Chains A and B, each alone.
Chain A
Amino acid sequence: MTAVTGETPATGSGVLGQPLDSREDPQLLRGEATYVADIDLPCTAHMAILGSPVAHAKILSIETKAAEQLPGVLKVATAADFTDVMPLPCIWIPGGVESHFPPHPYGLPGARPVLTGDTVRHVGDPIAVVVAETPRQATAALAAIAVEYEPLPVVTRADEALAEGAPQLHETVPGNLNAYWTCGDKDRTDAALAEAEVTVELDLVNQRTINSPIEPRGAVGDYNAATGEYTLYASTQGPHNHRFLLSALVLGIPFNKLRVIAPTVGGSFGTKGYLYPDMALVLLLSKALGRPVKWVDTRTGLMNSTVQGRDHRQHVTLAGTRDGRITAVRCTSYANLGAYPSTIGPGVATALMGRSISGMYDIDAAFCEVYAAFTNTVSLGAQRGSGRAEAAFLMERLVDRYAGEIGMDPAAVRRKNLVPKEKFPYDNGLGWTYDSGNYQLNFDKAIELSGYADMPARKAEARTRGKRLGVGLATYVAICGVGPSTRMSQEGMLGGSWESANIRVHPTGEVTVIVGSASTGQSHGTVFAQVAADEFGIDPDTVQVLEGDTQKAPYGQGTYGSRSYSMAAPAVALTARKIKSKLIRAGAVFLGVPEDKVVYEGGRVYEEGNEQNTKTFAELATAMWYGWGLPAEIEPALDETTHFDPPDFNYPFGTHVAVVEIDELTGETEVVSYTAVDDAGHIGNPKIVLGQIEGSITHGLGQALMEAAVYDEQGLLISSDLTTYALPRAADVPLFTLDKTVTPSPHNPLGAKGAGEIATVPPAAAVVNAVVDALSDLGVQHIDMPLTPEKVWRRLRGEAQ
């Protein structure tokens, strides 16, 4: 483990923290970046996947002969072709619970097979594949595959799947219960609830949503028979992880025979870190056919196969005093894992959600229990803000409900319960220890900036226009910087979670930084160059950044949970410091002075007190390349690597304020202003983080107002394309009012906290709180998301939920 002392960032060249233009942008703006669908290897064949049209059935027979005869068809494959291929592993089994899946040869539980041969468990469950000369021929041939099904009863809700007599999904999982998971202190919480002056309760549905990166997933497999090596090009946010899982755990091939390349990736938001059958299939079929095999998903395919998010049904309770002091919070949640445990889905639904439920508040007793169940739906996984957003939603709804019950202003209740500054590091009693924070400063800034005090007047004015104005607050803490590997193992994560960086200083003084992380649109190339340039005191334009190819990059776990800037960037900084330390030692030789007289500053070394005796960074690089005159203890050249495993997570936080206007006639909700004050510690590039914050808020507004994965009683995903699944469009969002506070994390050398997705965490709660506020005089205490005009209109007419 790397020692970390909570240093502040270096200020060698002053470029860190500056809003430099993204160097990735020109290529993207010209349409010249290569996404997986743009990869065109010679002799490529094209794969299409036959997904189940029914949600739950036994497969009685599969007839592929007719498809095999069709023009251009090269191969039709079913589960029978892959009997020696292992199922896709789930690597996050929530801590301390017994897995019901049979152990894997490497000790991991198996889950989804690459193709299903006996029982289909959700619409889209892959049954067969066709490889043909063209994508159209492959797709056309799917229709000629005849499958005979024996229907089985269907269940799509977690709570119903756990009821007696519910349809059973897996023989090895009686009662469909994958995990019963708890955190916090049940007895203490129950006692606090029993003794409380006031208790409030809510039943919440955190609806299932679909992440919807604009680029669907895709994969190209290329097997080289001469060398026995496989190359996978995939739309992935974790090429090293996919290499590890695929080679060792699924295909059973040596690790060093598989290379994974992430080209430019068109957004992910959590979904592209998961292992999917197609990744294995393109490799297996490339070997079988002796040609590269390419697969690119359709939008409907994506919606029926790529992991979905949220999906909890919860009963939540809060206890407090009459004067606004929260004494306990309790959550019972039914989480819908879908048909199979995805790569890390069970952990998202439990630890990421449950340990965060007390948010920014100093609460004496808290307890969360999660029943994670299998149903006939697409597997559950991460979604921008995953787990943390679900936690913030339940807590912030409860706080508003409590404020209403005791007749106190919701802002005053919140302020009264914020964790005091002097209590950090703060043990939240649910398993997280918050690293640092100044919650009062952050909260007050948001309240001030949003004009919260003016809301009564604005409400009155809105009524004169036939509008009901409501204001909603939401605060949050988002666990980020996943993480310390040992700590994650205690959470049940079967894998490390460190990051690494390699830096090579070339003989001409330019620098190459290579990281194990992989961007899905976060301008890593720009920001990591800033980190290295700042450390060295050199021009960032001389720093090249590489990532995304396992053959070239040092190992790393990938981009997820807003961790790249607080995990990979510190690895870059620490590696640069190793090189600087070496340059000081070598500088003593080159300057002819003792080491303690050598100063490294502003991209050069010089003799203390005699700045004329100096060598620039480029001169040092050349001298180290030659290696002349170096003593035996100093190796020539400058090439260092660091593996950064932090002492603990980091915990960004913030306060958001939504103001909505509801049209009395139509029930339409318009977000008329939105104020967000987030704290992500020290920020590397504010221009890039601004874009991530704005996008994150918009994503959260989408869940509040329009997004929902809707399954019918037969388990058919009704919202299976972008005509039926609503995403926020430009006209749906107002300009935001944004600001920040800066509380550095002591857990990495940059003082960084996660940033990328944190602002997705509170918007759903803020908007629902605002809408309930606008309707409170009608006796409305809660409305389930999404807040469609019809739903709100019915409440305006006094109809019950």
Chain B
Amino acid sequence: MNGRPEQFTARPNELLVERLRDGLGLTGTKVGCDTGQCGTCVVRLDGRSVKSCLVLTVSAAGSEVATIEGETTRGGELSGLQEALRQEHGTQCGFCTPGMVMALGELVDSTAGGEAPTEPEIREWLTGNLCRCTGYHSVVRGVQRACAAARAEAPSGVGEPAVAASTTAGQEV
């Protein structure tokens, strides 16, 4: 769990989001809809973003779980993606934000070494996450900014791998 081993006994019907919020006190992961539609509960399971309201805790046994709490130390520096979203004000009420950061982190990571995602690709990626405040535009701009920043910082220039991973991957395991 965010790089630390956690050992506990889970009920067979316990949802991963219940374990995170009620069992482990990791309340950054939110519950918004109960049906897997809104995406506020997105965490990463072995690097892939999943909706933790649709995952049984027992089925996550042995996996690496990354939540918003693992993205940055408390009060510490924001990740590249978080910083880009801040600069574009890709948040308003903030309730959908942790789920978006976890889902978009995978996109930013997965494209760090290649072509930056296009605007339609970012929008397509975001269809699993509902936001009612922003209309998504500032979030899309934030992802574009994060990708651009990651590529600009790449030591060997555009297209080189690894740097966008600094947004999240270093703290993920």
Contact = CB atoms under 8 A, between A and B. Distances in A.
A429 interface: no
A28 interface: yes
Interface of A: 21-22, 24-35, 37-38, 40, 211-216, 264-269, 296, 298-300, 520-523, 687-688, 690-692, 694-699, 721-723, 727-731, 733, 735-736
Given A31-B68, A721-B33, A695 B134 contact: yes
A26 B138 contact: no
B69 A31 contact: yes
B92 A695 contact: yes
Contacts, number: 185
A729 B126 contact: yes
B72 interface: yes
A267 B95 contact: yes
A300 B135 contact: no
Given A38-B27, A727-B130, A33 B94 contact: yes
A40 B27 CA distance: 10
Given A32-B74, A721-B35, A733-B135, A25 B120 contact: no
Given A28-B94, A723-B37, A730 B32 contact: no
A697 B135 contact: yes
Given A729-B126, A731-B124, A733-B136, A266 B94 contact: yes
Contacts of B63: none
A735 B138 CA distance: 10
Contacts of B34: 298-300, 721
Contact of A22 (B28, B89, B98, B122): B89
Interface stretch (B79-87, B148-156, B158-166): B79-87
A233 B74 CA distance: 24
Given A691-B134, A730-B126, A731-B123, A722 B35 contact: yes
Interface of B: 21, 25, 27-35, 37-38, 40, 67-69, 71-72, 74-75, 78, 82, 85-87, 89, 91-98, 101, 119-120, 122-124, 126-127, 129-140
B40 A29 contact: no
Contacts of A215: 30, 32, 93, 95
Nearest to A33: B94
Nearest to B83: A29
Nearest to A722: B37
B142 to A, nearest CB: 10
Contacts of A520: 93
A242 B85 CA distance: 34
B136 A730 contact: yes
The 9 closest A-B pairs by CB, nearest first: A31-B28, A28-B94, A521-B93, A266-B95, A698-B135, A31-B68, A722-B37, A730-B126, A31-B98
A299 B33 contact: yes
Contacts of A296: 31
B134 A269 contact: no
A727 B131 CA distance: 9
B126 A214 contact: no
Contact of A265 (B25, B29, B93, B130): B93
B88 to A, nearest CB: 8
A22 B85 CA distance: 11
Contacts of A735: 119, 137
Nearest to A693: B135
Contacts of A38: 21, 27
Given A213-B95, A694-B138, A695-B92, 9 more contacts: A25-B94, A37-B31, A296-B31, A691-B133, A692-B133, A730-B123, A731-B120, A733-B136, A735-B119
Contact of A521 (B31, B71, B94, B140): B94
B130 to A, nearest CB: 6
A692 to B, nearest CB: 7
Contacts of B30: 35, 37, 214-215, 266
Contacts of B74: 30, 32
Contact of B33 (A21, A696, A722): A722
Contact of A213 (B31, B35, B93): B93
